[in-house]
Structure 1
Amino acid sequence: MKAVVLAGGFGTRLRPLTIEFPKPMALVGNAPMMEHVLGLLKEVDVDDVYVMLYYQPEVIKGYFGEKKYGLKLNYILPQKDLGTCGCVKFIEDKLNETFIVLSGDVLTDFDLKKAYEFHKKKKSKATIVLTRVSNPLSFGIVITDEDGRIVRFLEKPTWGEVFSDTINTGIYILEPDVLRFVPKDTDFDFSKDLYPLLLKNKVPIYGCILDGYWKDVGNLRQYLESNLDFVNGKIRIKGKGKFVGNSFFGENVKIGKGVKIDNSVIGDGVKIGDSAVIKDSVIYPSVEIERKVKITRAVLSYRVKVGELVEVKNGSVISDNCIIGRRAVIGENVKIWPDKVVDEDSILTTSLIWRDRWQNKLFGNFGITGLINKEITPEFATKLGASIGAYLGEGSYVLTSRDAHQSSRMIKRAIINGLISVGVKVGDMRVSPIPVVRYEIGKEQEAGGIHVRRSPFDGRVVDILIFNNTGGNISARQEKSIEQLFFREDFVRVSPDKVGHIVIPPRAYDYYVDGFLHNIDVESIRKRRFKIVLDYSFSPASIIFPQILGKLNIEVIALNSHIDPEKTSRLREEYNSAVKNLSSIIKTVKADIGFMLDNGAEKIMIFDERGRVISGEKALYTVIKLMSLEKKGKVVVPVNAIKEIEGISGIKVEYSPVHPRSIMEYAKKEDVIFAGDNRGGYIFTEFQPNYDAMFAIGKILEIMSKNEIKISDIVKEIPEYKLLFSKVSCPNEAKGMIMRKLMEFGKKKRIVLIDGVKFLFKSSWVLAIPDQDTSFINIWVEAKSNNEAKRIIENFEKRIKNWLKGI
């Protein structure tokens, strides 16, 4: 006899378990479900099996080969999805005798010989194997007469339509001539299409009720139950391994001391550390479990690594190749997709699907960042808003703002919902430049602010910036407090009468304009009558800055001076084109200077009167040198700034960590007159201790006008230097070791420990800092020549790589 095994399903309802392999390859008793199906067919004297493939066919073919249990396996791959019956029609020419059709992922121990004998005795054209279940709602109900002939089908009824507890198991015994009713190359189903058609044409079809175990493994809960049924002897199938106590073990399992394993299936090559506890769970082959791990009613797929003291709770499923860090807690019913990393000490309460890792921290270098609608969703944002609101306290007042993109609006509104749900009042500034929002905070007793923007570096990513009660970025300690509230979901929603309300701050823009003009020499600028070229980069600065520039009597050739929601971030080629265009226009119109804003209006790129770009560390030197013409005092620069700044007359340099938050914190110190970085961010502290591109432009023009100087005059004075940057790949768990090695290496050398480790040599320096967001060590080198800088940086790269080899 021949058989057709339907093995082309996607197994969507078993995801994430079935992402890396098709559903028939899911293990029950350490063997794929399809292997149990083939064992069943062997008992019915089947010799030829046609396996219908569609999803990940190579996995099934690679595992079973051409023969199994003496059965000849013929693999068929239709070019499109033809449905359960349509794919059988696809091989009609090969089915010239009675044949059996069943699913490759059915789990049963039915005696199919009885069904075959029934089929022949009744001279049936089609026999459906039936069984009785307590809840038939998810199945096709079949009603038969006293002789077993089918009189009615009902697919997935409501309780009001349940007339029987006898259901279709999806196992069929058929005669070849029924396939004449099936159209070619058409999506055609047995239950929905063929059997009603046979009834209509009065073709004799019968239902054979069999006793025994049968389960439709339709979801992850049923999948776990199937394995537990196997362990408890409820199904008569042969697993791969042996029973020890009340659990089933594959080969080469290594178990530490004091381990407790109860009512579970453990796969081949699994390693279990001391004092681990595993109960009612399925552990796939090659899983590594460290000491004192607790796993309850969970499924861990191939090659998962679980760190010590981890707890995996009821209903969780961890897919292939995931790494769970030490002391992490995987909450109930959490699903983790393949190749994910959960950081140590994390508490994971929601499924991890799109993002590469679940970290025990939310914040990175640019606030909270993630893929829009994948990593940062409205649900995430609402929870974040509630966490921030809970930290600030019921009755607090918080400003919110965003850039012009619709995704930023979506996330900001979700954050607002979270804030008001815990009783926080919200002042919504809608689309606003970041410096205006920062400047407004504190004017009306605001406790902080939140700005949402599409990342200027990647249009798929959203950044969420959180400000403290002075408009600066919140501190690391504040970040940690918010993270704890977020991960623990430790916040209480208020009663309906205490829900926060939303207002529009009435004077935010007035405050900013007044403060701007009060802190700048308006008359000096007006007298100079500057001509400038200004690229707004489609920024919300175009809402307010033209008003200020008009009061300064500046002739402005404005580019990209309207808000465009689709231009909140620029591709590299768009950016390069904009730079080239601005440079050309400066030369054409003979402007005094040019500027390009970033979309948040926090940073600028400077162009001299000849259209030449002044960027990075050169721009930082230029602005500080320019400012020294008017003021003497302390300036703050990041520890990776060029040493030549120290030589500017009248300037005392204080180095800060490179993180923007640190630079703004240092800018608040009483004796600091200026702070800046190598990325176009400048802080003139007399106005506000935060990045502000608009005020920086105003201040640069003021000093140029008062000293009758061109920006190119300053650039000419920059001493010769060479600054190189590199990064070395380094696993997060090895970063601490690398920094320790660098400290040991620097024992007898001059080092600075402001941020990372900075080595000071006679005419050069080297700085190494572990990257906060990625698995790299960042290295900067400044030297007098390119060759010297290159030699030093290669030496440090080699040293770090050698240390990593020793892990």
Structure 2
Amino acid sequence: MDYKYLERIIDCNQTIIQALKKMDEKRVKSLLVVEQGHFLSMLTIGDIQRAIINNVDLNRKIDKIINSNKEYASTAEDVNTIKEKMLVMRAECMPVLDEKGEMVKVYFWEDFFSDKAKEEFKEKINLPVVIMAGGQGTRLRPLTNVIPKPLIPISEKTILEVIMDQFEGIGCKKFYISVNYKAEILEYYFNHLEHKYDIEFFREEKPLGTIGSVSLLKNKINTPFFVSNCDNLIDQDFRDVYEYHQNNQNDITIITSVKSYQIPYGVIETGPNGLLTNLTEKPEMTYMINTGVYILQPELINEIPSNHFFHITDLIIRLREKNGKIGCFPVSEKSWTDIGDWTEYNKILCKY
């Protein structure tokens, strides 16, 4: 057996947050769950995302969220059958079990297919994409004193092109790009570049907040649409997010990232008269962070006031007051990169 499967092994008594961290560490989307050394089940990033959506405690053991109905390969199946099964399921890896349920081999996607094949097999979605590219990029100064943040290079492309490529890869064709700061440079670049994108620039004459300029798109968009900041890279198939958005009938879906922070001190809790009730040494806190990527229903454009400074948080508050449905689709900590500051930008340069 190829022993590279060993890095995916996780004991069933580990917690959800531990499994999520292991996926991030190994850069994988699935793990092999064992109980006392025997194969029990697969655990996928989708299992964890569903658990988070259902508000399951991240400190809960993973054996409480594994899907016992998952399909695996058997020793009675030939390689071509297993290959077809992996293609249909788009499975990152496929355990092969004998008649006793013992794992005797593991096939990996790369054993049969290219990474591109997994994406091409899934149905495309052609939704409009609005990219908020009008900010000043203050965290990346002095570079952004010269060029707008969307044109900062990542390898042989700009940040904006890398973001658009991800959406274009799932079938999105129409891009509306909100510009303000150094708008002329941004428009000139794309007007003189041979590219595959269908781009329509729209300009806010003054800063209108994180969603205010979208009011300029009234009567132009009549389907659900993506909204993305121009400094986010997310390792997630956005078609899964759209499927969740549709199935849950959300008005807005926010892509969130699970972030853990360790407090470098002992944390004390007290009760009446200052008496100690609890002491936790260097606790780790886990939060859901807004990544700045959303799916919106088209009618929400009418909720955005024209020519007014208006943040996406203002829209969310307004929607909550009207009992609208706001969903959150989680991704792991390392699946999201905020490239709007020097530390993260330098990291992404090393990756590319």
Q: Please, what TM-score do these two structures have when normalized by structure 1? A: 0.24
Write the distance in 2 (CA, Å) between the matches of 1:50 and 1:8.
12
Q: Which runs of 5+ in 1 are unaligned?
A: 138-161, 232-807
Amino acid in structure 1 at the alignment position of 2:291: T
Write the distance in 1 (CA, Å) between the matches of 2:261 and 2:174.
35
Q: In the superposition, relative to structure 1, how do residues 209 and 68 fare at CA in structure 2: closer, same or farther (>3 Å)? A: farther
1:135-214 pair list within 5 angstroms = 135=261, 164-191=286-313, 193-211=314-332, 213-214=335-336
Q: In the superposition, relative to structure 1, how do residues 85 and 126 fare at CA in structure 2: closer, same or farther (>3 Å)? A: same
Per-residue CA deviation, residues 702-725 of structure 1 (Å, 9 max, x unaligned), is: xxxxxxxxxxxxxxxxxxxxxxxx
Amino acid in structure 2 at the alignment position of 1:172: Y
1:602-621 pair list within 5 angstroms = none
1:128 counterpart (236, 254, 257): 254
Q: Which has the larger radius of gyration?
A: 1
CA deviation after TM superposition for structure 1 residue 89, in Å: 1.3
* 8 A Cα contact 2:218 2:302, kept in partner: no
Counterpart of 1:99? 225
Counterpart of 2:204? 78
Amino acid in structure 1 at the alignment position of 2:199: L
* 8 A Cα contact 2:180 2:204, kept in partner: yes
1:336-735 pair list within 5 angstroms = none
Per-residue CA deviation, residues 314-348 of structure 1 (Å, 9 max, x unaligned), is: xxxxxxxxxxxxxxxxxxxxxxxxxxxxxxxxxxx
CA deviation after TM superposition for structure 1 residue 181, in Å: 2.4
Amino acid in structure 2 at the alignment position of 1:190: I
Counterpart of 1:221? 343
Amino acid in structure 1 at the alignment position of 2:338: D
CA deviation after TM superposition for structure 1 residue 69, in Å: 5.5
Write the distance in 2 (CA, Å) between the matches of 1:102 and 1:67.
22
* 8 A Cα contact 1:46 1:71, kept in partner: no
CA deviation after TM superposition for structure 1 residue 184, in Å: 1.6
Write the distance in 2 (CA, Å) between the matches of 1:67 and 1:122.
40
CA deviation after TM superposition for structure 1 residue 66, in Å: 8.2
Give the root-mean-square deviation of aligned CA atoms: 2.3
Amino acid in structure 2 at the alignment position of 1:166: M
CA deviation after TM superposition for structure 1 residue 164, in Å: 4.2
User: Share of identical aligned residues, percent?
Assistant: 29
Is the partner of 2:324 in helix, strand or coil?
A: coil
Is the partner of 2:211 in helix, strand or coil?
A: helix
CA deviation after TM superposition for structure 1 residue 112, in Å: 0.8
Per-residue CA deviation, residues 564-590 of structure 1 (Å, 9 max, x unaligned), is: xxxxxxxxxxxxxxxxxxxxxxxxxxx
* 8 A Cα contact 2:257 2:330, kept in partner: yes
1:9 counterpart (135, 144, 151): 135
Q: In the superposition, relative to structure 1, how do residues 165 and 101 fare at CA in structure 2: closer, same or farther (>3 Å)? A: same
* 8 A Cα contact 1:38 1:68, kept in partner: no
Write the distance in 2 (CA, Å) between the matches of 1:74 and 1:66.
14
Is the partner of 1:187 in helix, strand or coil?
A: coil
Amino acid in structure 1 at the alignment position of 2:244: F
* 8 A Cα contact 2:262 2:285, kept in partner: no
Write the distance in 2 (CA, Å) between the matches of 1:123 and 1:203.
10
* 8 A Cα contact 1:6 1:104, kept in partner: yes
* 8 A Cα contact 1:126 1:206, kept in partner: yes
* 8 A Cα contact 1:82 1:188, kept in partner: yes
Is the partner of 1:93 in helix, strand or coil?
A: coil
Q: In the superposition, relative to structure 1, how do residues 218 and 136 fare at CA in structure 2: closer, same or farther (>3 Å)? A: farther
2:173 counterpart (40, 43, 47): 47
* 8 A Cα contact 1:136 1:167, kept in partner: no
Question: Relative contact order, CA 8 A, sep 6+: which one is greater?
Answer: 2
Amino acid in structure 2 at the alignment position of 1:206: G
CA deviation after TM superposition for structure 1 residue 67, in Å: 8.1
Counterpart of 2:241? 115
Is the partner of 2:144 in helix, strand or coil?
A: coil
CA deviation after TM superposition for structure 1 residue 36, in Å: 0.5
Question: Which structure has greater helix proportion?
Answer: 2
Write the distance in 2 (CA, Å) between the matches of 1:92 and 1:44.
25
Q: In the superposition, relative to structure 1, how do residues 126 and 85 fare at CA in structure 2: closer, same or farther (>3 Å)? A: same
Write the distance in 2 (CA, Å) between the matches of 1:92 and 1:163.
41
CA deviation after TM superposition for structure 1 residue 78, in Å: 1.8
CA deviation after TM superposition for structure 1 residue 136, in Å: 10
Q: In the superposition, relative to structure 1, how do residues 173 and 136 fare at CA in structure 2: closer, same or farther (>3 Å)? A: farther
Q: Which runs of 5+ in 2 are unaligned?
A: 1-126, 264-283
1:59 counterpart (185, 209, 212): 185
Q: In the superposition, relative to structure 1, how do residues 178 and 136 fare at CA in structure 2: closer, same or farther (>3 Å)? A: farther
Counterpart of 1:20? 146
